[in-house]
């Protein structure tokens, strides 16, 4: 989505978006620098990429390129202003001398240049964080990727590294958690929903037929299922296998009754038919379900971070803390995915005792002691 500070690209000039506070911060900063160029040394952490407006980014690059005059020399003439304008105009033809005059008039206090620069850096952090979150959402919903989980986890790591870079740049303050409400999870598309339900049904039937596979699938949790009944039936299977009791469609149905799953569920005959139609491997279906859960979790995290960045009341430090808290929700399911997809460790043969030949004693160099005979 376009940032409010970006130049408007539409044709309807009556619907121009109103300028945001950062727009006035950029104008005030340029006014301060045009009046007192020596203040460029006080904002060394600011770069052209931090500006949301292309013309402003180009102008700042020109200021960094043209040698800064001394305060006395700058007070005598406007040579530096002309040189900066000439440097910037090839990349930003819209810049004019009159606009530089407007920038100078927009600066309340030149000595506040560092504060204006801090505002610009904070807004840039918000924009970049939104881009990272947008990318996370896009990857999580891209069905053309050969390995979507690997791609989404890599983007989550990139987002985490960016948050690590941001954290030292902004001062902590009380109330560091954002107050922005989390958006509700979006409903899955109809075709994706049906596919997920089919995979869950096949998992339940196959796990009922091969309950020994359930014991190795501790990485699959009820929250990974899209249908509450399927999540409850999976809990029934796990409970039966842990108690080492017989597992078949009837025993699963009996366990489901005790857990209150049959009150608003399907007909019992339909449920028995569902549990009696195995296909393939339970672990294979479980990985499909877990993969869908990983992508859904990543997508929801991306939307939560987007909501933080779109709330103008959220401070930069709150953005960092809230985004880190949201990203931490991916860690448990990432760990479970690694357990599910890691190859099983090779079992080593048990060592047996008593099979090796007895070790020979060292040769004696002295005669053995005489046995004492009791009389």
pLDDT band at 191 (very low <50, low <70, confident <90, very high): low
- Number of folded domains in the chain? 3
How does pLDDT run across 102-130, given as a tens digit for each residue?
999 999 999 999 999 999 999 999 999 99
Q: How many degrees, rounded to 5, is the angle at CA 12 between CA 7 and CA 17?
A: 45
- Looking at residue 140, its pLDDT comes to 95
Q: Which domain holds residue 143?
A: 121-173+297-329
pLDDT exceeds 60 at position 94: yes
Rounded to whole angstroms, the Cα distance separating 104 from 269 reads 80
Residue 238 lies in a domain: yes
Place of tokens 């964080």: 129
pLDDT in tens, 203-234: 999 999 999 999 999 999 999 999 999 999 99
The residue to which tokens 């598309």 are assigned: 189
Q: Which of 108, 136, 155 delimits the end of a domain?
A: 108
Q: How do residues 30-70 score in pLDDT, each as one tens digit?
A: 999 999 999 999 998 999 999 988 999 999 999 999 999 99
Q: State the Cα–Cα distance between residues 34 and 333, nearest whole angstrom.
A: 53
Looking at the fold, whether 220 and 285 belong to one and the same domain comes out as yes
pLDDT of residue 10: 41
- Per the CB < 8 A criterion, the answer to whether 108 and 119 are in contact is no
- ∠ CA(229), CA(258), CA(252), 5° rounding? 60
Across all residues in the chain, what is the average pLDDT?
86
The CATH number for 71's domain is: 1.10.860.10
Residues 68, 134 within the same domain = no
- Greater pLDDT, 260 or 191: 260
Same domain assignment for residues 167 and 212: no
Q: What's the pLDDT tens digit per position in 139-161?
A: 999 989 999 999 999 999 999 99
Give residue-wise pLDDT tens across range 256-297.
999 988 887 678 998 999 999 899 999 999 999 999 999 999
71 with 162, same domain: the answer is: no
Question: Is a pLDDT exceeding 60 seen at residue 347?
Answer: no
* Residue 136 domain flag: yes
* Predicted confidence band of residue 344 (pLDDT cuts 50, 70, 90): low
- Assess whether 206 and 286 both reside in one domain: yes
CB 291 within 8 A of CB 123: no
Residue 316 has pLDDT above 70, yes or no: yes
CA 70 to chain centre: 47
| Domain match, 235 and 267 both | yes
Predicted local distance difference test score (pLDDT) of residue 190: 62
Last residue of a domain, one of 263, 291, 319: 291
158 and 250 belong to one structural domain: no
Give residue 346's pLDDT.
Answer: 57
């Amino acid at each position: 989505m376009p940032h409010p500070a970006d130049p408007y690209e539409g044709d309807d000039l009556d619907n121009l978006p109103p300028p945001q506070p950062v727009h006035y911060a950029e104008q005030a900063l340029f006014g301060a620098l045009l009046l007192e160029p020596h203040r460029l040394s006080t904002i060394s952490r600011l770069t052209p990429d931090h500006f949301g407006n292309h013309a402003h980014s180009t102008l700042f690059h020109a200021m960094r390129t043209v040698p800064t005059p001394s305060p006395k020399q700058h007070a005598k003439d406007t040579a530096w202003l002309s040189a900066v304008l000439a440097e910037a105009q090839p990349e930003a033809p819209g810049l004019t001398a009159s606009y530089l005059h407007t920038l100078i008039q927009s600066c309340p206090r030149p000595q506040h240049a560092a504060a204006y620069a801090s505002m610009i850096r904070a807004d840039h952090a918000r924009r970049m964080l939104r881009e990272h979150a947008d990318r996370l959402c896009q990857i999580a919903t891209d069905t053309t990727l050969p390995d979507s989980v690997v791609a989404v986890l890599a983007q989550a790591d990139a987002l985490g590294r960016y948050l690590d870079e941001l954290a030292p740049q902004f001062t902590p303050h009380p109330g560091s958690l954002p107050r922005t409400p989390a958006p509700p999870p979006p409903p899955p598309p109809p075709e994706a929903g049906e596919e997920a339900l089919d995979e869950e049904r096949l998992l339940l039937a196959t796990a009922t037929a091969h309950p020994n596979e359930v014991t190795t699938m501790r990485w699959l949790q009820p929250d990974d299922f899209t249908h509450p009944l399927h999540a409850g039936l999976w809990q029934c299977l796990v409970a039966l296998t842990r108690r080492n009791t017989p597992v078949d469609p009837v025993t699963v149905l009996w366990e489901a009754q005790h857990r209150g799953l049959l009150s608003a569920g399907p007909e019992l005959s339909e449920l028995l038919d569902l549990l009696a139609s195995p296909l393939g491997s339970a672990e294979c279906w479980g990985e499909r379900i877990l993969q869908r859960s990983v992508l859904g979790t990543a997508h929801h995290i991306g939307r939560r971070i987007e909501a933080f960045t779109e709330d103008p009341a959220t401070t930069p430090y709150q953005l960092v803390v809230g985004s880190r808290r949201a990203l931490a929700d991916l860690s448990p399911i990432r760990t479970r995915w690694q357990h599910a997809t890691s190859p099983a460790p090779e079992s080593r043969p048990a060592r047996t005792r008593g099979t090796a030949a007895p070790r020979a004693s060292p040769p004696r160099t002295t005669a053995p002691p005489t046995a004492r005979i009791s009389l």
